[in-house]
Amino acid sequence: MAEFPFEISPMFEGERVRKDGMFVELGGPKSLGLELVRAKPMDEIEDDKVTIIGPDLKEMEEGKTYPWAMIFHIGGELVEPDLESVVERRVHDFINYCQGIMHLNQRYDVWMRVSKDTASKMDSFEPFGQAVMMLFKTELPFIEKMQVTFYTDKAEVEKQMEEAKEIFKARDARTKDLHDEDVDVFYGCTLCQSFAPTNVCVVSPDRISLCGAINWFDGRAAAKVDPEGPQFEIAKGDLIDAEKGEYSGINEIAKKLSSGEYDKINLHSFFEYPHTSCGCFEVVGFYIPEVDGIGWVNREYQGMAPNGIGFSTMAGQTGGGKQIVGFLGIGINYFYSPKFIQADGGWNRVVWLPAMLKEKVDEAIPADLKDKIATENDATDIESLKAFLQEKEHPVVANWAAEEEEEEEEEEEEEVAVAAAPMMMPAAGFQMPAMPMMSGGSSGGIKLTFKNAKITIDRMIISEKKEKK
């Protein structure tokens, strides 16, 4: 192995570079971050070449954030365009093998940090680029030649970002006419388990990976060229529930990969045994009980959702490979799936999206709902969201009346039950004083109404008020 100014090992996966130990930040929520892999003929690739367009590491100011783009070109006899996204997703792995360099997210959401210690050992990104390419060619031998260009110039990063998004869009469109019932196998991905040990990422034709980088075709290509790699086949097994997307094969792999933490995953349910959430997800969904609806917020949105919580906070409590009822991480392309949270109402249950996300997925939103889903321009808290949904006659509003009627019926039943129930026998040693009759009526007694209540009483004292003689 060639000599590098920092250590390289899988043991550094999951290493976090905190702000106080950071030399520079690349991409992330305060800037632009991109990674892209493109297949090219081998005679067009200068093997191991690293090009830097914009300020190099030694020209950067400590503590600052810079725009960042990584464009890798790969070539080889077995290299084909279908493998681009597969190789791209391994960027996360191999960068995190490098001591003192943290990599999060994917595609156009890349967030990196270089530690002060690592920066003190090198004055250029060149050895970093060479180390990552060495790891790629060692771990994925079908890559015979590789070169990389790092962009830190803002104008150049913006240009690369615009071109890359068109490439990502074309990739995602491939699964449009392929559905879960059309295939015999799904694919799994364990790339995020270094950060989320119990995460079980299942990729099906109707559900892209949480990071948005791996679709069903990508999983198939990856499993073919690297059978022992992080993408692998999952036998569907028996279909248990078509609406929820429950398969016996997924349940088996969930139990195995989560070390027994979970034994059931429904691909298309928000509430019942939902898919685990890693942390690299592009969007997080959150239930809003006050309106019985679901909101979604994307990583790029810096504001607060109507529940008073921002993306980073919700991502923190949702991610880590947990299965959280009421929160769900997804890849953006899942919005386009005909099975999008179909077990819980699909788009009819969506009540709020940031304006930037709503614009991005505009084509996925049913025409009759586009004006009924609020953004931060329409609602910033629960009360304004309620008012908006009522004004627009959103489908969830019809559920409110039904729920109120049901609650009233339950209340009446509880009142009858309390009135008709015999007095419970007190515990031994407890002396119940005589209950005074209520004045002003012939029926007497006490009326107790409990509505959706859970009451714990450590001690209750009932005494009779005696009149003075």
Detail the residues annotated as belonging to a binding site for [Ni-Fe-S] cluster: 189, 192, 278, 280
When computed from its CA atoms, the radius of gyration of the chain, rounded to whole angstroms, is 28
- 3-class secondary-structure state, position 67: coil
- In the numeric block, the tokens 């349940």 are attached to 251
Strands (E), 180-314: 185-189, 201-203, 231-235, 239-241, 246-247, 283-288, 293-298
CA dihedral 424, 426, 432, 437 (to 10 degrees): 0
What one-letter code names the amino acid at 232? F
Binding residues: 189, 192, 278, 280
Structure tokens at 35: 């990674």
- In the numeric block, the tokens 């990739």 are attached to 171
- 3-class secondary-structure state, position 88: helix
Phi-psi region of 279 (alpha: psi -120 to 50; beta: other; left: phi over 0): left
Q: Which residues, 6 or more positions from 17, have their beta carbon under 8 angstroms from its beta carbon? A: 100, 101, 102, 113, 114, 115
Give dist(CA 354, CA 373) in Å, integer: 10
Query: How would you label 48-62 residue by residue, b for 16+ Cβ within 10 Å and e otherwise?
Result: ebbebbbeebeebee
Q: How far is CA 181 from CA 110, 210, 223, in A?
A: 33, 20, 20
User: Of the candidates 314, 315, 214, 201, which has an alpha carbon nearest to the alpha carbon of residue 262?
Assistant: 201
Q: How far is CA 127 from CA 98, 122, 132, 133, 240, in A?
A: 11, 8, 9, 10, 51
- Chain centre distance of CA 82: 25
